[in-house]
Amino acid sequence: MDQPGQPGPDRRRTGFQLCPAQEKINGWIPGPGADLDLISTLLVALGLSLDAFAVAVSSGMSIKPMRLRYGLTMAAFFGSFQAFMPVLGWLAGTGLRSLITGVDHWVAFVLLAAVGGKMIYESFPQRESKPSADPRRITVLLLLAVATSIDALCVGISFSFIKVAIVRPALIIGLTTFGLSLLGFYIGKKVGRWLNRRVELLGGLILVLIGIKILIEHLR
């Protein structure tokens, strides 16, 4: 207990030393100089979720009869993995950050451009093949969720390199993916074939533009 007349400890200084891992925890929490602006975060979330949206549209085209539980289950799988993968990538990138100091913005740009370029390439007509797996099966859903969230893993790594706090982007990406996946599942029957390729193209363009924005901001 502090003695009367004597100044107590400066809790604003010592408070961060109460937990040895506090410095790492602080990086998870949005704060001054460590947060991606909301518009950019929403655009990244949209770009990543459009990949899952396209798969949901395809699944909606093939599942008969359509049931609400199928759409909710698919959206929950896609949203959960899209939220988890950026965190996993962020943690992996944290260990590599010290090795790329000085070129971290270039690495972030290359990763985002590569993911966006891949989505743009896949948006053009490829050799069609009939789906042989039932997206209502949990094992198939698990594989689809992993496949559509690999891009989010790369984005999480890029966020770590430019020291962006990860909690808010991960939550926004997950919720956006959940909503768009559920929507895609239900509109698949009506406009699925026309919409499927175009959303992948849009998602790729968005990620490339975000990568260019990050690069320009760091080169100023």
Residue spans per domain, the chain = 36-124+134-219
Find the farthest-apart pair of alpha carbons in the chain and give their distance in angstroms, rounded.
81
- Give the per-residue pLDDT at 133: 63
> What are the tens digits of pLDDT across the range 137-171?
888 888 888 888 888 988 898 888 888 889 999 99
Rounded-to-integer distance, Cα 142 and Cα 183, Å: 19
The long-range contacts involving 26-34, CB below 8 angstroms and separated by at least 24 positions, are 27/94, 27/163, 27/165, 27/166, 28/165, 28/166, 28/167, 29/165, 29/167, 30/165, 30/167, 30/168, 31/165, 34/163, 34/164, 34/165
Classify the phi-psi angles of 33: left when phi > 0, otherwise alpha if psi is within -120 to 50, otherwise beta.
Answer: left
- Could you tell me where the DSSP H helices lie in the chain? 11-14, 22-28, 38-62, 68-96, 104-122, 138-161, 167-219
Q: 97 or 37: which carries more pLDDT confidence?
A: 37
Calculate mean pLDDT across residues 72-95. Answer: 92
pLDDT at residue 41 is higher than 50:
yes
Number of neighbouring beta carbons within 10 Å of residue 7: 7
> What are the tens digits of pLDDT across the range 50-61?
888 888 887 877
pLDDT tier at 97, thresholds 50, 70, 90: low
pLDDT tier at 173, thresholds 50, 70, 90: very high
> What are the tens digits of pLDDT across the range 8-28?
444 443 333 333 333 433 444
Q: How far is CA 192 from the centre of its chain?
A: 24
The long-range contacts involving 14-22, CB below 8 angstroms and separated by at least 24 positions, are none
pLDDT at residue 7 is higher than 70:
no
pLDDT tier at 79, thresholds 50, 70, 90: very high
- Give the per-residue pLDDT at 114: 81
